[in-house]
Structure 1
Amino acid sequence: MRKAVAMALAGNAVAMRLCLERVLPLLQDRPVVFKLPPIESPADLPEATAGLLRAVTSGELTPGEAEALRKVIDTHIAALKLVDVTERLTNLEDEKQQ
Structure 2
Amino acid sequence: MSEDDRAAIVEKIIKQAKRGDRASQKLIVDRIEPPRKGRAAPFPLPPIKTATDVVGALATVTAAMAAGQLSPAEAVEIAAVIETARRAIETQDVEVRLHALEERFK
Is the TM value for this pair above 0.5?
yes
* Structure 2: runs of 5 or more not aligned: 1-9
Deviations 1:55-88 (A, max 9, x none): 0110122334323322221221111111111111
Say how many residue pairs are matched. Answer: 97
Counterpart-to-counterpart distance in 2, 1:41 and 1:53: 19
What TM-score do the two structures reach when normalised by structure 1? 0.72
Aligned counterparts, 1:1-98, within 5 A:
1-10=10-19, 12-97=21-106
Counterpart-to-counterpart distance in 1, 2:100 and 2:49: 20
Counterpart-to-counterpart distance in 2, 1:39 and 1:16: 42
Contact 2:42 2:69 survives alignment (8 Å): no
Are the structure 2 counterparts of residues 95 and 49 from structure 1 closer, same or farther at C-alpha, using a change threshold of 3 Å? same
What TM-score do the two structures reach when normalised by structure 2? 0.68
Are the structure 2 counterparts of residues 91 and 19 from structure 1 closer, same or farther at C-alpha, using a change threshold of 3 Å? same
* Structure 1: runs of 5 or more not aligned: none
Counterpart-to-counterpart distance in 2, 1:14 and 1:33: 31
Counterpart of 2:40, as a letter, is: P
Q: Percent identity of the aligned residues?
A: 32
Counterpart of 1:63, as a letter, is: P
Are the structure 2 counterparts of residues 16 and 37 from structure 1 closer, same or farther at C-alpha, using a change threshold of 3 Å? closer
Root-mean-square deviation (CA, aligned residues, Å) is 2.5
Counterpart of 2:69, as a letter, is: E
